[in-house]
Amino acid sequence: MTTTGSLKEHSDFRMLWAGNAVSQFGTRIGGVAAPLLAVGVLAASPFEVGLLNAAQTVGLLLIGLPAGAWVDRMRKRGLMISMDLCRAALLATIAVAGWAGVLTLAQLLVVTLAVGVATVFFDVAHLAYLPVLVGRDQLLEGNAKLQTSQSVATTAGPALGGWAVAVLGAANTMLATSIGFVVSASQLNRITSVEPTPQQPGTRHLLGEIGEGLRLVFGVPTLRAIACCTATANLFLTFLVTLNVLFLNRELSLSTGATGLVLAASGVGGFLGAVTGRAVVSAVGRARSSWLSLLLTQPFALLLPMTRPDWRIGLFVVGWFVVGFGSTVYNIAQVTFRQAVCPDRLLGRMNASNRVVVWGTMPLGGVLAGLVAEAADARTGLWVGSTGLSLAVLWLLLSPLRTLEDVPTP
């Protein structure tokens, strides 16, 4: 199932890449269309919109750990196809109900939660499938290409979703997103490589399998450091994301359009990081680039609270651009490192356990940001967030990763 040479010639990887790209865009577009549908059609209150946003991400916390164990028991490609078709069917019910005029907030919440759970299974299976499909020698190139499409989807997806809702309407946008997931499934179905039969757990219970994944993440010093670093960085990055609009729009009095342009700097930086990440990580090494990418870039976040409503708005643009660039290079390096050192039979559990830990801090970051901004102001909150983000790399500097260049030889 592996190949040599560039992945440009690997037809099965191209199918995986195409399917993942469509899935990423579908997730981002649906994430915008659902709240707009709730507000514009169902007249949802701010609290109800908050519930809807929570429903999009709470699936990971509810099912993330057992999902990893289940993924390790199953063929990954078939599971991804099933989850794509499941998401397509769920979103189609929203479109049909919208056309019929019978859509309710309860249905939208339930479908959003179910789509979120399906996305958890898809993402965990996808991370576990890549090493099996392309081999460990080509993980870096594969992750760099996948990160490129993810960066484009993250940057352009919400804008495309907003445009689609304005032109097509929210219900029709849901149908278009549903069709996108069918396209993703069809691309994955074109992969011809035969996936090895997953190793079965024998008599071990589900909790035992989950524990094995957690012990790997927290028992291996390098993996533990990466998990703690990413969790800390996500907490404070969410801190910044929560306050950026408030700071730019209210405290600096930027227009909505100008605020959007300034915030787009992170997406541009992330895209550049995805395009150049493979070369950077190849030259520096997967272990070394994981901490260098953060050490050299995340302190630029300290430029954000220095911004003033004059020429110094450029400080925010530069800082947010560099943070986006460094974060993307770090993701390419650390994901490739984790996949390379993890046994195939534990890839699902390792990725799920790591994802629960590193995403679990994000809701806390949003809450803390709001509390700090209310107690002081948004600028103070940005100082707290940027300082914490700059210091997150200490987890890596104080770990064995500091002395490694690349993946250690077993």
DSSP annotation of 220 reads S
Superfamily of domain 209-403: MFS general substrate transporter like domains (1.20.1250.20)
Pair 404, 287: CB distance under 8 Å? yes
What local confidence, expressed as pLDDT, does residue 203 receive?
54
Name the residue among 52, 349, 329, 37 with its Cα closest to residue 162.
37
Q: Residue 78 has what pLDDT?
A: 93
Amino acid at position 377, single letter: D
- For residue 18, give the nearest of 137, 255, 182, 187 by alpha carbon: 187
Task: Report which of 91, 84, 66 is spatially closest to residue 21, judged by C-alpha positions.
Answer: 84
| 209-403 has the same fold as 7-139+150-193 | yes
Candidates 1.20.1250.20, 3.40.50.2300, 1.10.760.10, 3.40.50.300; correct CATH number of 7-139+150-193?
A: 1.20.1250.20
What is the separation of C-alpha 361 from the centre of its chain, rounded to a whole number of angstroms?
14
Tokens found for residue 332: 């390419």
Are the C-beta atoms of residues 237 and 288 closer than 8 Å to each other?
no
- Burial of 302: CB neighbours in 10 Å, binned 0-12, 13-18, 19+: middle
- Nearest-CA neighbor of 326 among 138, 147, 153? 147
Predicted confidence at residue 2, as pLDDT, reads 47
Is the separation of the CB atoms in 335 and 127 below 8 Å? yes
| CA neighbor of 329 nearest in space, from 387, 359, 284, 360 | 284
By C-alpha distance, which of 198, 44, 20, 150 is closest to 107?
44
Global pTM reads 0.77
Identify which of 217, 228, 237 has the alpha carbon closest to the alpha carbon of residue 326.
237
Q: Percent helix, strand, coil in the chain (nearest 5)?
A: 85, 0, 15
Dihedral angle computed from the Cα positions of residues 285, 291, 292 and 296, in that order, rounded to the nearest 10 degrees: 160
**Pair of tokens at residue 346:** 């534990």
Query: Within 13 Å and on the Cβ side, how many CA atoms surround 170?
Result: 19
Residue 144 has which token pair?
A: 């760099």
* pLDDT score of 302: 97
Q: Find the angle CA(225)-CA(228)-CA(234) to the nearest 5 degrees.
A: 135
Provide the CB-side half-sphere exposure for 396 (13 A, CA): 28
What number of CA atoms fall less than 13 Å from residue 316's CA on the CB side?
27
Encode the chain (410 residues) as per-residue pLDDT tens digits: 444 557 777 888 999 889 888 888 888 888 778 878 887 888 887 678 767 777 877 888 888 888 888 888 888 899 999 999 999 999 999 999 999 999 999 999 999 999 989 998 998 888 888 888 887 778 888 888 887 888 788 777 777 777 888 888 888 989 999 999 999 999 999 999 887 777 666 556 777 778 888 888 888 899 999 999 999 999 999 888 878 878 888 888 887 667 778 888 888 898 899 889 889 988 988 889 999 999 999 999 999 999 998 888 999 999 999 999 999 999 989 988 888 888 877 888 887 888 888 888 887 887 788 888 888 888 999 999 999 999 999 999 999 988 887 766 43
Q: What residue ranges do the domains of the chain occupy?
A: 7-139+150-193, 209-403
In this predicted structure, what is the pLDDT of residue 409? 47
